[in-house]
Amino acid sequence: MAEVVLFHHLRGLTDGVKAFADQLGGGSHAVHTPDLFDGELPGSLEEGLALSQSIGDAGIAERVDAVLADLPDALVYAGISFGVMQAQRLAQARQGARGALLYEACVPVTGEWAFGPWPHGVPVQVHGKDDDEFFAHEGDIDAARELVEIVGPELGELFVYPGGQHLFFDSSLPTYDADAALLVVQRSRAFLDRLG
């Protein structure tokens, strides 16, 4: 069984994020869904960004640290869009990471924005849409390709889906794409199953 921490996107810990976490776990894996916005559900990405900025990087980090205090080191870190920042940072910097699932975002692993080198032997899977204004058109897909190339084909996978929706597997939002979401769940579950 894998133990996963899934960080939500800028719309908060929506019912769609919770449903995705349940599907990801599927009775075989434990998926924790910390609420970094303390119950607030912004009505748009812009409102979510404003809320995250009002909490501040230090405040977000404190909330993340509080969640991790009660969990083991051997975790899979997962994040959706905004949540990828936390998931990827922890996968790269916290001892014991078993893997990373990065949804709709990817931070460069080289250059000035990098958290540092990718840790040896830590598998990663990245998912995103090929015409998503954030993932495909702001450089994240290029960062994902570089990451997968660095990690190598045995440990790194990038799955790109047709379309331009962002937050496409959150069933509580109008951007939901049921067919693509099903593939995300299947591929993510296979990733977790390989970890045991």
What is the domain range of residue 182?
Answer: 3-195
Q: Give the length of the chain.
A: 196
Per-residue pLDDT of the chain (196 residues; tens, 9 = 90+): 899 999 999 999 999 999 999 999 998 999 999 999 999 999 999 999 999 999 999 999 999 999 999 899 999 999 999 999 999 999 999 999 999 999 999 999 987 778 888 999 999 999 999 999 999 999 999 999 999 999 999 999 999 999 999 999 999 999 999 999 999 999 999 999 999 7
Q: Is residue 40 a contact partner of residue 51, using CB atoms and an 8 Å limit? A: yes
Q: Is residue 104 a contact partner of residue 127, using CB atoms and an 8 Å limit? A: yes
Distances (CA, A) of 157 to 56, 176, 190: 32, 22, 12
Q: Is residue 111 a contact partner of residue 105, using CB atoms and an 8 Å limit? A: no
Nearest to 98 by CA among 171, 191, 7: 191
Point out which residues pair with 32 in neighbouring strands: 5
- Per the structure, the count of domains in the chain is 1
> What CATH number does the domain containing 108 carry?
3.40.50.1820
Tell whether pTM > 0.85.
Answer: yes
